[in-house]
Structure 1
Amino acid sequence: MKKIGIIGAMQVEIDLLINKVQNLTKFTYAGFPFYHGELFSNEIIITNSGVGKVNAAACTQLLIDQFSVYSIINTGIAGSLDEAVKIYDVVISSDVTHHDVRVEQKKNLFPFQETFQADKQLIELALQTCAYLKLNSTYHLGRIVSGESFIEDIEEKTRIVKNYAPACVEMEGSAIAQVAHINKVPFVIIRSISDNADENTTLDYKKYEEMAANQSAQIVLGMLSEMKWP
């Protein structure tokens, strides 16, 4: 039985998952909660990283060091950066990058990566799960970008879209991806859209946050039910 790590930035993003876990035990390391148990014959460790890339990176490294997870799934919500990606749609990461770090810095400094590629097996499993669940929304495979700020300014949104052509934006995925990459741990990011990263973001976010978070968690549950490792 291989260990699967699941990371959400907020409790609302992981509550549905925690409530399904059998033989649940809670651990705390450096202030981060880790929920350990079994789900669909998989050994699961679910954690709440808190918001932002620094928190996400620290939490991801602890998850790897303390539990030796085989793979990582990041679940949660995000803001759309593509007109084709609507509120309540789902984005599965093809690759992930920081939108608030210069390209030259990413290329020339450790770990020398402009983007971090999600695991092909996990991507395929996520796509198959979305198709099987027959979601009341559209699912997309695309780039996800992350930064240390909540995007609700149209000028900032335009800059990010011009430079990176992403499907959506959030605040943790690229940090999780970078830590997974340097530790050689397969990962995928699953995000359900809660807003359009514009001047209406705050209102949309409050309205759709829980619904979008639960949809992402439902996809993770579907993936776990089908996971068969060699």
Structure 2
Amino acid sequence: MRQIARVSIGMGLLGLALPAAAAEPEKRIAVISAFEPEWIALQKAMTGTSEQVINGNRFLLGTLGGKKVVLFLSGVSMTNAAMTTQLALDRFPVKSIVFSGVAGGIDPKLDVGDVVVADTWAEYLESAFGRKTADGFVPPHRDDGAANLASYGMMFPRTVGVVRAGNPRYERRVWFDADPAMLAVAKAMPPVTLKRCSDSLCLKAQPRVIVGGHGVSGPVFMDNAEYRQYLFKTFDAQVLDMETAAVAHVAYSNAVPFIAFRSLSDLAGGDPGENQARAFYPLASENSALVVTAFLKALPE
């Protein structure tokens, strides 16, 4: 009897309905802006938006350009950008990263309003300050990974140390690359007509989208013509900002595909008069948002 009872109970248990497995959270594209004007420009095109607040940071979940995204502010400068990007990767199922924002133009061929989609980024102020001697400045030790980069006075460029998901070997790098597949989409997507005029100001020429080249980032608002020339000559830089290389660094460490769109609000010291950022950052923000939205529409699922 006990044996039969045990079998009956066992059969009864087999007949119980098991709870359904929890569905995997839908992966999203992290779309990042550095400060509010850039963020607001992107929100205009978002639909189905909901909000989560984590450590005081607002994360907007919704659809942009037909793709599921989580949109948030990095905050200005390198530490803020690295911190908020890692926070997003830890809290949301992110499949790729897209940065949208304004920047300073370094390449003399570029002008305010142009949007640059650089294929690689460096942290240009990762450096050693050399000791002054009778023969000039001497760095404390040689960094072979950056030996081809000329110094600027006492400032000697250095590589930055990093480990990566799936490869714990400590390595040193100067450049962090944008994702090749995402760059290919940016090159092949339909042309985007950029804004030439804001409410009260117009640019001299119609802005363009340039895909390729080098970007550099550092925790400095750079507005110096001499140093601008140095960055163009030494890093072959087209564009400069205060966040993107930090985001590229975090993306590389987490093995997450990354790309950045930066619209020029000023020329980082090469402006014909005073720095133009205050006058043109609203227009530049809109132009970057236009290109990012078009890119998301063109991006395959």
TM-score, with length taken from structure 2: 0.71
Map of 2:202 onto structure 1: none
Counterpart selection for 1:187 from 236, 258, 270: 258
Map of 2:167 onto structure 1: none
* Distance in 1 between residues matched to 2:255 and 2:158, nearest whole Å: 18
* Partner secondary structure for residue 260 of structure 2: strand
Q: Which amino acid letter does the alignment assign opposite residue 232 of structure 2? A: V
Map of 2:281 onto structure 1: 209
- The alpha carbon displacement at 1:125 in A equals 1.8
Map of 2:173 onto structure 1: 113
Contact 1:92 1:127 in 2 (8 A): no
Of structures 1 and 2, the larger Rg is shown by 2
1:37-91 per-residue CA deviation (whole Å, 9 max, x = no partner) reads 1234421100111110000000110111111210001101111111111111110
Contact 2:223 2:275 in 1 (8 A): no
Q: Which amino acid letter does the alignment assign opposite residue 173 of structure 2? A: Q
4+ residue segments displaced more than 3 Å:
103-108, 199-203
* Partner secondary structure for residue 180 of structure 1: helix
Counterpart selection for 1:219 from 278, 291, 294: 291
* Distance in 2 between residues matched to 1:22 and 1:46, nearest whole Å: 12
Map of 1:155 onto structure 2: 226
| Matched length | 228
User: What CA RMSD, in Å, does the superposition of the two structures yield over aligned residues?
Assistant: 1.9
Map of 1:228 onto structure 2: 300
Q: Which amino acid letter does the alignment assign opposite residue 68 of structure 1? A: P
1:6-26 per-residue CA deviation (whole Å, 9 max, x = no partner) reads 110011112122122222111
Contact 1:2 1:42 in 2 (8 A): no
* Distance in 2 between residues matched to 1:170 and 1:224, nearest whole Å: 22
* Distance in 2 between residues matched to 1:222 and 1:166, nearest whole Å: 25
Could you list the runs of 5+ residues in structure 1 that have no partner in the other structure?
Answer: none
* Partner secondary structure for residue 126 of structure 1: helix
* CA separation of 1:163 and 1:203: change in aligned 2, threshold 3 A: closer
* Partner secondary structure for residue 64 of structure 1: helix
* Partner secondary structure for residue 212 of structure 1: helix
Contact 2:268 2:275 in 1 (8 A): no
* Distance in 1 between residues matched to 2:160 and 2:275, nearest whole Å: 40
* CA separation of 1:108 and 1:179: change in aligned 2, threshold 3 A: closer
1:126 aligns with 2:186: yes
* Distance in 1 between residues matched to 2:118 and 2:221, nearest whole Å: 19
1:70-121 per-residue CA deviation (whole Å, 9 max, x = no partner) reads 0001101111111111111110011001010133785473342210010112
* CA separation of 1:108 and 1:97: change in aligned 2, threshold 3 A: closer
Superposed counterparts of 1:9-20, under 5 Å: 9-20=34-45
Map of 1:3 onto structure 2: 28
Which structure has greater helix proportion?
1
User: Percent identical across equivalent pairs?
Assistant: 28
Counterpart selection for 2:88 from 54, 63, 70: 63
- The alpha carbon displacement at 1:126 in A equals 1.9
Map of 1:39 onto structure 2: 64
1:203-229 per-residue CA deviation (whole Å, 9 max, x = no partner) reads 411111000111000111111112223
1:113-136 per-residue CA deviation (whole Å, 9 max, x = no partner) reads 21001011211222233x522444
Map of 1:28 onto structure 2: 53
Counterpart selection for 1:137 from 192, 202, 207: 207
1:97 aligns with 2:122: yes
* CA separation of 1:156 and 1:31: change in aligned 2, threshold 3 A: farther
TM-score, with length taken from structure 1: 0.92
